[in-house]
Amino acid sequence: MRKVVCVLALGIFFSCQTNEIKVPENPLGWEIFETPVKASLRGLSPVTSEIAWASGSGGTWLRTIDGGKTWDHGVIAGLDTVDFRSIHAFDAMNAVAVSAGQPAVIFKTEDGGQTWDLKHKEVEEAFLDGISFADPNRGYVVGDPIDGKWMILQTANQGESWYPVLNLPEAKEGEAGFAASATSLISEGSNIWLGSGGTEANLHYSPDFGESWKKWKSPIMQGEPSKGVFSVTKLGGEEVYLVGGDYIKMDDTISVAASFSTLHEKWIAPVSSPKGYRSGVVYFPRFHWLVAVGPTGSDFSNDGGQVWENFSNEGFHAVKLGHAEAAIWASGSNGRIARLKVE
C-alpha cells in the first residue's frame, strides 16, 4: 500500500511540475500586422490568438481568422462617414458594431462582415462611447449623459434588440464618457463599472444589472473636458483598475492611474505611473500583468498596477484581451493592429 501511495504522489508531483506556467519578466514588444486600411481603429475585439475584429473611422471594419496574416475588411452598411469606435465579436462570424457621434447606431453582422443589419438607432443628442458584454448574451452600450442621466442600453439576446437599463445613474453637469478606446464601461455577471471624466472623474458601479448604483469620486485628474477616466479593467474579485489623464497634455504622469476595491470602497494610487495619458488598459490573467496603451507608448505592471514600466514606444488607442484569454491585441491610428509578444 505504501508503494502505491508513493507512486501516486510522485505522479502528481511531476504532473504539477509539467503544467507550471513560466512567467516572462516583461513583454517583448508588439508584433505589428500589415492591414489593408488606413483608418483610425479604436474598436477592437479579439476572440482568440487567431481571430480578431476591429472597427473605426470611415465606417471601417476588419477581421482576421489566421492570426493577422490576412484581413477581410469593408465599410459597415456603406456608412463611410461614420466612426465605429466600438465593436464586440462573439466568434469569427458574428459581431456588433457601435458608432460614436451621429448617427448613433448599432449594427450586427452574422456572416463575417459581408452584410450588416441595423439593430438600434438613438436620438440626435446621443453620443455612444463603448460596448461591453457581461456574458455571451447580455451586453451594454454606454452613451454620454442626456438631461442629467447616463445613457446605458442593454441587450439580452446578443445584440438583436436594445433598451435602457431599469435605473439610469445620475451625472454631474459637465461629466461625460470617452470613446477613445470604448472601454470606459465594463461588465461581468451582474456587475457594471463605468468610469467618467470632464468636470468630475467618477467610478459608477451597479451590482445588479443596473437596477441600483453607487458612485465614488476617483483620484484620476479631472476638471476639464479633456481629463478623466478613459479605460477600466477588472483585476479579479471586486477590484478594478482605471487609467486616463489628459489627452491634450499627453506627457503628464500625475494622477493617470489608480485601483479601486468596490468591496472595501478604497482607492489605491500607484507608486509609479504609466508614462503619461493612457486611453486603454487590460488585465492579462495568464501572467498577472496589466498592460496600458496610449498614443505615446505602452506600459506594463506585474504587481497589480503599483509599479509601471514602459516597454514600447509604439502607441495605440485600444488594448483588449481575447475571449480565450490567450493573447493581448492592440489597435491604433493609420490602420495599425498588433499582438503582444511574450516569448
pLDDT tens string 328-340: 999 999 999 999 9
Sheet of 309-312: strand order equals 280-284, 289-294, 297-301, 309-312
Whether the ω angle into residue 103 lies within 30 degrees of 0, i.e. cis, is yes
Q: What are the domain boundaries of the chain?
A: 31-340
Q: What is the per-residue pLDDT for 65?
A: 98
Report field, pTM of the whole predicted structure over 0.75: yes
For residues 112 and 68, what is the distance between their CA atoms, to the nearest angstrom?
15
Q: What is the per-residue pLDDT for 5?
A: 37
Q: What is the per-residue pLDDT for 4?
A: 37
Q: Which of 3-17, 114-128, 168-182, 216-230 has the lowest mean pLDDT?
A: 3-17
pLDDT in tens, 1-56: 333 333 333 333 333 444 556 788 899 999 999 999 999 999 999 999 999 999 99
pLDDT in tens, 169-209: 999 999 999 999 999 999 999 999 999 999 999 999 999 99
Phi/psi of residue 77, nearest 5 degrees: 50, 30
Please count the other Cβ atoms lying within 10 Å of the Cβ belonging to residue 111.
9
Domain 31-340, CATH among 2.60.40.10, 3.30.70.2740, 2.30.40.10, 2.130.10.10: 2.130.10.10
Q: Dmax of the chain from CA atoms?
A: 77
Sheet of 175-176: strand order equals 175-176, 197-198, 224-236, 239-246, 257-261, 266-268
Q: What is the per-residue pLDDT for 13?
A: 34
